[in-house]
């Protein structure tokens, strides 16, 4: 099988590029002496997860219980469900634990601690809980110096759960504009969880796990003293948002969407393809970056970028390609039927539109297909 | 089963609201004497499609061959695949036709006509083709007065396909800011295909099918003389983009995402939910409208909007709710575990994230589940 044998659009994964990405992050983390707990929300594929964890300790991070079920079904036994627990998911988490899957949850408030404690006691389990720490005002979590932190840890223990430690996610690292800025966010991320863990320990609570994670901070943290594990997901594939903040190069992007040219509006300098926002996702993450890549950067079928050609607009099943200057003369000849590969703004969002990866290795030959899952 | 028995996020469809939407469009089109060929790209569900076509002639419109396969498997025999044909899909289309499914394709250029003709001749089929007409400069298509139109029609016939007529989609109607503007776009849409059909017929070509379609123009066209069918999809569910251009009211929106409150950042006036952009989609279609609804408008579990509360930001599996004013005092009390229903910006994009609809009728009781499909 070859890329030319596929119906378009289709999702293409260059496994050689992906393996280099995995090796690069592992190589970074080894001297920092922390475990990698890959966040499988990006790839949602056991084949990719196995390549992240091979030969190294540490489980995985999941963003949905559908992921938890799928990876459990594929033999993974150690998982952190890294979205603040909703009461209606506790029975499912406890059912996974009954089936031998060590799922830990996260919480940042007393109401969650109470719901989790009630469910755990009813199930006769000490459900492991990490407290979510807010390191950058980005989303959820308790500030490391919040007076509510220690009482929350005590309530988790007293309510019937097991306080395992703390975790945070430096979501603001995605908005950095320089490596120095990412390094500063990484240090703030590290300091936030280390301080929170110290406060819990000073109050007599165990907090063995000190977990941080975002791809930019994982790639640029200068030290991780006091941290026990790093969660990161996008690093396996990378994407244009990561390239835009110089966390990777464009040639490190392992994921692309195979598309066909179906027509032209020559007066406008447009080529029309069959990869719209359903195929590329609606993510416009580069819109706020210095170099706006539209709905994606256009490459030839071998993955080489076409100079300055981006997806300038998208409808559900149509993409509109043009030169970023808007100059019609700058659009290369792209006859109907031309196969293109479009690099995504955000790997997590684009991959989510597909049920399988077509795996290549720096060629158009398809080596295999890897399934992926979705839903909740 | 009740909404409270679901794990969140989940997709909720109010069938009573949907049936009223379908009846409203059918009621509009009846005196205009045109058939409805519903575009199933929104719902991607046989249960919904059956409610659109019950008792009336006319097939369906599909946006992918995955839809074509699914609806064929559920007994639908008359389909228009309304995305300009890519050469790599022709074998699949012809295979569907061999299996008794009357799939027509669309084309707007000679290269497509040549590929389609070669494939059709090889298969011993006269593949039916509609010429795509560009009525508003929005995307693809031949302008109705383009000198290339008649030669394209002749090439389709001479190449071995059957020219069935013309079709267009007034995509620009989504950007209208008044009913008068939509009426004008609808008339331009009608005129474009009628003129194109007349030109083809004057050249001795048959063009029995004259097809228009977009939900705004379908809801507001004042006359459809010369048009034989209307394609529309979003009208079954409606959404905030449609409400924003007054094509529907907010209470006509049949689709919502069930979410749970999982925490708060009280100083910021935020409630955090487990419905992020994976659950809501990345669509920000109301961002360019007078009333920006963020990632969605927040309702209680019965579907009643919470005054001024929207999803102000979203990460993959987290939504951030706040009052649109940003005033923390305006956020109502929403304890952890509170169930909410979030109305989507764009029904097609949001529904695409799910494999099933949980069907209710103006209550929290779940009557049934309807499956839906995805992919290509």
Is the pLDDT reported for residue A148 higher than 80? Answer: yes
The DSSP string of A248-273 is: S-GGG--EEEEEEEEEEEGGGTEEEE
Q: At what angle do helices B149-159 and B179-202 cross, to 10 degrees?
A: 60
Name the residue of chain A whose CA is nearest to B272's CA. A140
pLDDT tens across A300-313, in order?
999 999 999 999 99
User: What is the rounded average pLDDT for all residues in chain A?
Assistant: 97
User: What is the rounded average pLDDT for all residues in chain B?
Assistant: 97
The DSSP string of A81-110 is: E-SPPPGGGHHHHHHHHHTT-EEEEEE-SH
Name the residue of chain B whose CA is nearest to A321's CA. B139
Q: Do B86 and A260 touch (CB under 8 A)?
A: yes
Name the residue of chain A whose CA is nearest to B84's CA. A262
Give A282's DSSP letter: S
Q: What is the pLDDT of residue B57?
A: 63
pLDDT grade for B345, boundaries at 50, 70 and 90: very high
Q: Do A277 and B7 touch (CB under 8 A)?
A: no
Q: Which of residues 266-285 of B touch A (CB under 8 A)?
A: 268, 272, 274, 277-279, 281-284
pLDDT tens across A105-130, in order?
999 999 999 999 999 999 999 999 99
Q: How far is B283 from chain A (nearest CA, A)?
A: 6
Q: What is the pLDDT of residue A54?
A: 81
Rounded CA separation B336/B60 (Å):
43
Q: How far is A241 from chain B (nearest CA, A)?
A: 14
Average pLDDT (A40-49) is 97
Chain B residues in contact with A354 by the CB 8 A cut-off are 375
Check CB contact of A183 with chain B, cutoff 8 Å: no
Q: How far is A108 from chain B (nearest CA, A)?
A: 7
Strands A10-14 and A356-360: parallel
3-state helix, strand, coil in chain B (%, to 5): 35, 25, 40
Check CB contact of B111 with chain A, cutoff 8 Å: yes
Chain A residues in contact with B351 by the CB 8 A cut-off are none
Q: Which residues contact A320 (CB under 8 A, 6 or more apart)?
A: A270, A271, A272, A273, A311, A312, A313, A314, B139
Rounded CA separation A146/A160 (Å):
23
pLDDT tens across A194-232, in order?
999 999 999 999 999 999 999 999 999 999 999 999 999
Name the residue of chain A whose CA is nearest to B348's CA. A316
Rounded CA separation B56/B49 (Å):
12
Q: Are B224 and B153 in contact (CB under 8 A)?
A: no
Q: What percent of chain A has pLDDT over 90?
A: 98
Residue B287 CB coordination number (10 Å) = 11
Q: Which of residues 17-76 of A touch B (CB under 8 A)?
A: 41, 63-65
Q: Residue A126: is it exposed, middle or buried by C-beta count within 10 angstroms (0-12/13-18/19+)?
A: middle
Q: What torsion do the CA atoms of B48, B49, B53, B58 make, to the nearest 10 degrees?
A: 160
3-class secondary structure, A333:
coil
Q: Which of residues 214-273 of B touch A (CB under 8 A)?
A: 260-265, 268, 272
What does each C-alpha distance from B48 to A232, A239, B80, B297 come to in angstroms?
40, 36, 17, 24
Q: Which residues pair with B10 in a beta bridge?
A: B258
pLDDT tens across A154-174, in order?
999 999 999 999 999 999 999
Check CB contact of A159 with chain B, cutoff 8 Å: no
Chain B residues in contact with A262 by the CB 8 A cut-off are 83-86, 112, 140
Contacts 24+ apart (CB under 8 A), B324-328: B324/B292, B324/B294, B326/B269, B327/B269, B328/B266, B328/B267, B328/B268, B328/B269
Q: How far is B345 from chain A (nearest CA, A)?
A: 12
Chain B residues in contact with A7 by the CB 8 A cut-off are 65, 86, 88-89, 92, 376
For residue B152, what are its two tokens?
């394209």
pLDDT tens across B186-215, in order?
999 999 999 999 999 999 999 999 999 999
First to last CA, chain A: 32
Average pLDDT (A79-102) is 98
Nearest to B316 among A6, A272, A348 (CB): A348
pLDDT tens across B249-290, in order?
999 999 999 999 999 999 999 999 999 999 999 999 999 999
User: Shortest CA distance to B215 belongs to which of B230, B234, B229?
Assistant: B234
Q: Which residues contact B73 (CB under 8 A, 6 or more apart)?
A: none
Interface probe, candidates A1, A129, A131, A139, chain B, greatest B C-beta count within 10 A: A139
Check CB contact of A350 with chain B, cutoff 8 Å: no
Nearest to B317 among A8, A64, A337 (CB): A64
Q: Do A315 and B139 touch (CB under 8 A)?
A: yes
Average pLDDT (B11-40) is 96
Nearest to A376 among B9, B92, B376 (CB): B9
The DSSP string of B298-367 is: EEETTSPEEEEEEEEEE-SS-EEEEETT--GGGSPP--TT-EEEEE-S-HHHHHTT-SEEEEESSSSB--
Q: Do A10 and B262 touch (CB under 8 A)?
A: no
Strands B10-14 and A366-371: unpaired
Rounded CA separation A196/A95 (Å):
30
pLDDT grade for B58, boundaries at 50, 70 and 90: confident
pLDDT tens across B308-341, in order?
999 999 999 999 999 999 999 999 999 999 999 9
**Positions of E strands within chain A:** 10-14, 35-36, 60-62, 78-81, 102-107, 128-133, 162-168, 209-212, 229-230, 255-265, 270-273, 297-300, 305-314, 319-323, 339-343, 356-360, 366-371
Q: What torsion do the CA atoms of B92, A338, B166, B348 make, to the nearest 10 degrees?
A: 70
Q: What is the pLDDT of residue A247?
A: 96
pLDDT tens across A273-287, in order?
999 999 999 999 999
pLDDT grade for A57, boundaries at 50, 70 and 90: low
Q: What percent of chain B has pLDDT over 70?
A: 99
Q: What torsion do the CA atoms of B70, B75, B77, B80 make, to the nearest 10 degrees?
A: -30
What does each C-alpha distance from A340 to A7, A276, A336, B109, B267 come to in angstroms?
12, 13, 11, 19, 48
Q: How far is A317 from chain B (nearest CA, A)?
A: 7
Q: Are A337 and A3 in contact (CB under 8 A)?
A: no
Nearest to B115 among A139, A265, A337 (CB): A337
Nearest to A112 among B263, B268, B376 (CB): B263
Is the pLDDT reported for residue A372 higher than 70? Answer: yes
Q: How far is B190 from chain A (nearest CA, A)?
A: 21
Check CB contact of B171 with chain A, cutoff 8 Å: yes
Angle at B372 between CA A260 and CA B289, to 5 degrees: 70
Chain A residues in contact with B109 by the CB 8 A cut-off are 263-264, 336
Q: Is the pTM of this model over 0.90?
A: yes
Interface probe, candidates A282, A286, A373, chain B, greatest B C-beta count within 10 A: A282
């Amino acid at each position: 099988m070859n890329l030319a044998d596929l119906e378009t659009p289709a999702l293409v994964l260059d496994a050689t590029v992906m393996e280099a990405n995995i090796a690069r992050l592992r190589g970074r983390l080894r001297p920092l002496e922390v475990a990698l707990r890959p966040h499988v929300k990006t790839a949602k594929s056991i084949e990719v997860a196995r390549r992240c964890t091979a030969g190294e300790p540490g489980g995985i991070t999941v963003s949905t219980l559908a992921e938890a079920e799928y990876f459990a079904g594929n033999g993974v036994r150690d998982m952190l469900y890294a979205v603040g627990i909703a009461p209606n998911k506790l029975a499912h988490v406890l059912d996974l634990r009954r089936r031998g899957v060590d799922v830990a949850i996260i919480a940042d408030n007393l109401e969650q601690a109470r719901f989790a404690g009630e469910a755990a006691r009813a199930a006769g389990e000490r459900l492991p809980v990490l407290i979510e720490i807010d390191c950058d005002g980005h989303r959820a979590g308790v500030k490391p110096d919040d007076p509510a932190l220690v009482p929350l840890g005590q309530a988790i223990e007293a309510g019937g759960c097991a306080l395992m430690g703390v975790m945070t996610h430096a979501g603001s690292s995605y908005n950095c504009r320089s490596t120095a800025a990412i390094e500063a966010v990484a240090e703030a991320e590290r300091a936030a969880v280390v301080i929170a863990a110290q406060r819990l320990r000073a109050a007599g609570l165990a907090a063995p796990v000190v977990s941080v994670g975002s791809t930019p901070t994982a790639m640029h943290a200068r030290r991780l003293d006091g941290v026990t594990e790093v969660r990161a997901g996008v690093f396996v594939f990378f994407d244009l948002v990561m390239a835009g903040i110089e966390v990777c190069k464009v040639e490190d992007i392992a994921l692309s969407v195979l598309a066909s040219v179906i027509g032209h509006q020559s007066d406008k300098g447009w080529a029309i393809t069959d990869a719209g926002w359903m195929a590329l996702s609606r993510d416009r993450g580069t819109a706020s970056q210095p170099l706006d890549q539209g709905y994606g950067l256009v490459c030839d079928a071998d993955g080489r970028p076409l100079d300055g050609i981006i997806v300038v607009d998208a409808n559900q099943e149509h993409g509109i390609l043009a030169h970023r200057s808007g100059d019609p003369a700058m659009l290369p000849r792209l006859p109907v039927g031309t196969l293109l590969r479009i690099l995504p703004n955000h790997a997590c969002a684009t991959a989510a539109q597909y049920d399988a990866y077509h795996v290549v290795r720096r060629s158009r030959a398809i080596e295999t297909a890897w399934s992926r899952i979705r839903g909740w």
